[in-house]
Amino acid sequence: MKSGPKDILKRTEINITAKCFFGFEETLADELTEFGFQNLEILNRAVRFKGSWKDIYFLNLHCRCAISILVELDCFEIFSEKDLYDKCMKVDWTNIFDSSKSFAIKGAIFSSIFQNTHYPFLLVKDAIVDTFRNVKLERPNVDVKKPHVSFDLYIKENLVTLSLNTSGLPLFQRGYRQSTGEAPLNEVVAACLIRLSGWNKKTTFLDPFCGSGTLLIEAALYASGIPSNIERQHYAFKNLKNYEPLLWQGIYDSAKRVVRELPAQIIGGDISDEMVLKARRNLRTFSFGRLVKIQSKNFKEFQTDEEVFVLTNPPYGERIEAAVELLYGEMGSWLKHTMTGSEAWVISGSKEGLNAIGLKPEKKYKVFNGDLECSFRQFKTYQGSLT
Ligand SMILES: C[S@@+](CC[C@H](N)C(=O)[O-])C[C@H]1O[C@@H](n2cnc3c(N)ncnc32)[C@H](O)[C@@H]1O
């Protein structure tokens, strides 16, 4: 069980944990399998596997469905609060980062050893600072908002897992979204929904309630094979002592390219002119931006003669329930009568709204957008059938 923290930065094989949102473990595992990782262990909101430091750079850039990429530093048992501090004093933190870098510790504590769940974080922080002091080095500063180096502490009863968070800020901070509306979809959730839906990257993709364009952007990135994090600059691994800028640059350069054509048409719409402008502004970051067509119109005005794949996040925060039900009811009629023969996926936090669609969902998943519980449902309308 014990795997010592010594020379973790020099190891050729490391334990990697990719963290994800509730309900997307299988989706993340599917993506990791596509990358070629094997022997995946599916955990609660995470997937664990083995890899190398090169994989860490690759995953931070390419993985669309993970929130952060962790490297296990140490795993040990404790029986008292003091045990945690003592074990952490055995880690040579000065080997991992230098005192000019700020740090933070986050994580989750499920242990009766601690009365106060903040206290374990304080103990680890003290151990880190004391390790630097003991060898007469300047103490590094704590910065909870934007640390250079991040550690993850997970305690379940007696078992402590201490990891390095090589991403730092969560990977949904993609660096492409400058403007959002009132209820934007989390970027990682959007990427997971697209993968979970099984969109084939060929059929026309339509989001008629596109807001700031998150689903359209993630769909275009996915279809064109451009990493979702191509615009992101911050990665905590760049602040570790083993950072290899040339290795990172090679991985980054081989992913960056100009997209002149998308493999599928990607179309968006929103009733609000302001949101359409915001979505266009966000899309402008990318070479494919002008290939994604966004129109300012009511969803009902979209018509098609060909097969369309609808994936959308309609409003659900309306104060008047009847208005939500009316809107979703109209969406059901539109799907049935105008989009006949198409597949549609809808994510919404309104159960009443989803039920008002009036079509029987073929598939149904419980997911979260931030703290909000939502349902992600697939509807199919068949030519000539009265569903
Ligand atoms: C929940 S938001 C979508 C957020 C989006 N997924 C994002 O990440 O920014 C719903 C959007 O639907 C738009 N909307 C509301 N009623 C509409 C209608 N009848 N037709 C088209 N769009 C509508 C709103 O303007 C809003 O931008």
For the segment 316-340, what is each residue's pLDDT rounded down to a tens digit? Answer: 876 556 689 999 999 999 999 999 9
Comparing C-alpha atoms, which of 353, 213, 340, 349 is closest to residue 284?
Answer: 213
Q: What CA–CA distance (Å, rounded) separates 156 from 268?
A: 45
**Virtual CA dihedral for 233, 236, 242, 244, nearest 10 degrees?**
-10
Instruction: Say if residue 115 is exposed, middle or buried (CB neighbours under 10 Å; 0-12, 13-18, 19+).
Output: exposed
Q: How confident is the model at residue 2 (pLDDT cuts 50, 70, 90)?
A: very low
Comparing C-alpha atoms, which of 313, 359, 356, 312 is closest to residue 335?
Answer: 359
Distance 202 CA to ligand 1 centre (A): 24
Distance 340 CA to ligand 1 centre (A): 22
CATH architecture of 187-228+258-380: 3-Layer(aba) Sandwich (3.40)
Residue 218 CB less than 6 A away from ligand 1: no
What is the pLDDT, as a whole number, of residue 180?
Answer: 77
Q: Which of 180, 205, 271 for a ligand 1 pocket mutation test, highest count of atoms within 8 Å of Cβ?
A: 271
Which DSSP letter does residue 294 get?
E
Q: Cα–chain-centroid distance for residue 152?
A: 17
With pLDDT > 70 as the criterion, what percentage of the chain qualifies?
96
What is the pLDDT, as a whole number, of residue 7?
Answer: 81
Q: What CA–CA distance (Å, rounded) separates 222 from 263?
A: 10
CA-based radius of gyration for the chain: 23
Q: What CA–CA distance (Å, rounded) separates 348 from 312?
A: 9
Cβ proximity of 375 and 365 under 8 Å: yes
DSSP letters of 34-66?
Answer: HHT--S-EEETTEEEEEE-HHHHHHHHHH-SS-
For the segment 25-48, what is each residue's pLDDT rounded down to a tens digit? Answer: 999 999 999 999 999 999 999 999
Q: What CA–CA distance (Å, rounded) separates 93 from 241?
A: 10
Mean pLDDT of the chain: 94
Q: How confident is the model at residue 309 (pLDDT cuts 50, 70, 90)?
A: very high
What is the pLDDT, as a whole number, of residue 3?
Answer: 42
Q: What is the location of CATH 3.30.2130.30 in the chain? A: 8-165
For the segment 17-27, what is each residue's pLDDT rounded down to a tens digit? Answer: 999 999 999 99
Ligand 1, atom nearest to 317 Cα = 1
Residue 168 structure tokens: 């730092």
Q: Which of 177, 206, 209 for a ligand 1 pocket mutation test, highest count of atoms within 8 Å of Cβ?
A: 209
Q: What CA–CA distance (Å, rounded) separates 208 from 215?
A: 11
Output the CATH code of domain 8-165: 3.30.2130.30
What is the pLDDT, as a whole number, of residue 321?
Answer: 63
Comparing C-alpha atoms, which of 154, 150, 152, 153 is closest to residue 167?
Answer: 150
What is the pLDDT, as a whole number, of residue 181?
Answer: 77
Residue 339 structure tokens: 């989009």
What is the pLDDT, as a whole number, of residue 195?
Answer: 98
**Virtual CA dihedral for 238, 242, 246, 247, nearest 10 degrees?**
-90
Cβ proximity of 201 and 259 under 8 Å: no
> Which residue, judged by its Cα, is nearest atom 26 of ligand 1?
211
Ligand 1, atom nearest to 211 Cα = 27
DSSP letters of 195-246?
Answer: HHHT--SSSEEEETT-TT-HHHHHHHHHHHT--TTTT----GGGGSTT--HH
Comparing C-alpha atoms, which of 379, 181, 178 is closest to residue 271?
Answer: 181
Which DSSP letter does residue 95 get?
G
Distance 313 CA to ligand 1 centre (A): 7
Residue 134 CB less than 6 A away from ligand 1: no
Mean pLDDT of 164-182: 91
Question: Side by side, which strands form the sheet with 149-156?
Answer: 41-43, 46-51, 14-19, 68-77, 159-165, 149-156, 103-110
Q: How confident is the model at residue 349 (pLDDT cuts 50, 70, 90)?
A: very high
Least confident of 139-153, 168-182, 365-379: 168-182
Q: Is the pLDDT of residue 139 over 70?
A: yes
Helix pair 25-35, 53-62: axis angle to 10 deg: 120
Cβ proximity of 43 and 211 under 8 Å: no
Q: What is the location of CATH 3.40.50.150 in the chain? A: 187-228+258-380
For residue 275, the one-letter residue type is: M
Q: How confident is the model at residue 276 (pLDDT cuts 50, 70, 90)?
A: very high
Ligand 1, atom nearest to 185 Cα = 8
Alpha helices, H only, the chain: 25-35, 53-62, 81-88, 119-134, 187-197, 214-224, 245-255, 273-283, 321-337, 351-356
With the C-alpha atoms ordered 285, 288, 291, 297, is the resulting torsion angle positive or negative?
A: negative
With pLDDT > 90 as the criterion, what percentage of the chain qualifies?
88
What is the pLDDT, as a whole number, of residue 358?
Answer: 96
Residue 307 structure tokens: 């097969």
Q: Which of 174, 270, 298, 348 for a ligand 1 pocket mutation test, highest count of atoms within 8 Å of Cβ?
A: 270
Residue 299 CB less than 6 A away from ligand 1: yes
* Residues shown for the chain: 387
